[in-house]
Structure 1
Amino acid sequence: MTREQQNVLDAITKMTEAFQNKDIDTVMACYEPNAVIVFEPESPISDTHILREMFTKMSMVNPIFTYSGHEVFITGNIATHIAPWTMTAKAPDGTEIKQSGLSVAVLRKQKNGQWLMILDNPHGQFLMNK
């Protein structure tokens, strides 16, 4: 992995760790304004207030994410990150939650060198499961 690919992966890791730690301000700072996030297949959201609310609500189940690999492709100031993931959590009633999917994220390199997500779809496998 090149240094720039590692920088992209570091941006993904920063967001994942912040989400697991319920640090929603840092989660939101990992995205460009007007970024699109797909919390549910075929339902993209770009409204910042709704995104913050969704992340806050989802963090309440104490999600733990693991990735089984990462691919990072870069062209110019655009990068794609692809990774299979598994999430375990607990509902408020103690019920175990386990989900998995294929994350597909598009990031843009900012003028200051930081990579921010502009599109985040953790349900990249959706069309294959139809």
Structure 2
Amino acid sequence: MKALSILVCDDSELIRMQMNEVLRSIGVKNILEAKDGEEAVKICVEKEPQLVFMDIIMPNKDGIAALKQIKQKTPHIKVIMASSSSGHSHLRKSLLLGAHTFIKKPISEVVIRDIIYNHLDEQSKSSTKV
């Protein structure tokens, strides 16, 4: 999992730390962090992580605005939107803008593992097709 690059974008330092711990515990070595959507867009353009875990409600640029820009500039990056609010409008808008999936906070370790392993499984299947 060394090659897997993941960006964790949340305005809460505590949530970023918790996500980091979970990702490291399953073997992810390349973890990037952003505290708002502006930073996330910049990192996605410069570093091109394969996966992004993105909070929706953040200062400066929220997750929806950041998702829109990330998908325009780097459409191959999979963005997983996360929110503690259960607003269906956020969910619908995220999916329409190209989010890979939407998860509810607090994010469980099992959900994170499933997303990572599904991504790796998809990658290995697509790389074996020639």
Per the normalisation by structure 2, the TM-score is: 0.25
| Structure showing greater relative contact order (alpha-carbon pairs closer than 8 Å, 6 or more residues apart) | 1
Q: Pick the structure with more strand per residue.
A: 1
Greater C-alpha radius of gyration: 1
Question: What TM-score does the superposition give when structure 1 sets the normalisation length?
Answer: 0.25
